[in-house]
Structure 1
């Protein structure tokens, strides 16, 4: 049996792509539609996410609605993997930029003020808790603390320079033990994200579930605090 020539192989490959395209695409009144591989509905091509690995049309085979439902089901069935992926994305430049845009959008459209108006008791409770956590640390002590941790978040290691680029503010100070002292013996530098997500959680319960969790860093926190105080 004589093998196919390269020219014939290329021709057949092109034909297969054309056949595949014709089965899942049609044009109505000069508007292009695509068949969703999940819901089997014909939808405008604008209703599909882009897919760089698809060298036929550059789109995913399923529509945006099905893609969202598919991702939601995966997240429910793979909670730990989903959490790690979300945290990794939130720490990325793209994730931080997107969160900042979303925050500015909520500020501009009034949704933040609306939340504050309908959740006054929650906000008051939070403010009272924050008052009890007032730091008793001088600027010199604050700088010494940051210096020990190389001017980076003690938890995720985000540098203060990068933190300022994203949040337009310096690193925060976070209570290692939420119910303990407000002085240098119980505070470490933390980025806005870590400081906010840790909240009133204990270091162990919060840090254990983080993607950047490292057992050896517990001693680092403890020893670091003692060295700074000395």
Structure 2
């Protein structure tokens, strides 16, 4: 990594606030201290109620959210968060089954890390999610250029999608990133690995089914009242991936 990249990373860390949500006080303490040592501003809370209180007081760029907690579990907490404008979320759980990870990703998590995790891996995942979050929208958001396709309108800076009738379509953060990945590369076959890397920034295990689930959800939201539209805009290319079929204009 060159000096400019290191300087960018250090500035990102020093200006970034993280929130750890975990009922285990030992994990909270160790994780908090490790991340503080690497330049982040970190708070830690034991449950969803304390998390919401913290979010009411301060702005956070990313939440590390434990799944298995007594009372309200991590998935229920995730469901209550604003996945369009809220902080990024990394799920952290002793449950390492693929289906559990897919559920978390489908609900809008930006990454999913199994316990016990090496602190350095968690650090790398945090930086990757934050880097992807900042970089993915930057080229399109510059100058607030709008993107248009088949009557639809996308505002990358505001993270808004409007249908041909000018109705705002609610997308999760993950769905919006996936849509941007597709419309940045129109009429090209994109592999699942490419889409996963560009829309989520996960740099470890790849979960093809997670992309399939997200594409399915995005297609439903791109479908018109007559039930058509989503399938036509996002074409499945057998054994290869997906293609965004519409022409995209920037203006």
Fold match, TM over 0.5? no
Higher strand share: 2
Higher helix share: 1
| Bin of the TM-score, shorter chain as denominator length | under 0.3
> Which of 1 and 2 has greater Rg?
1
- Structure with greater contact order relative to length (CA < 8 Å, sep ≥ 6): 2
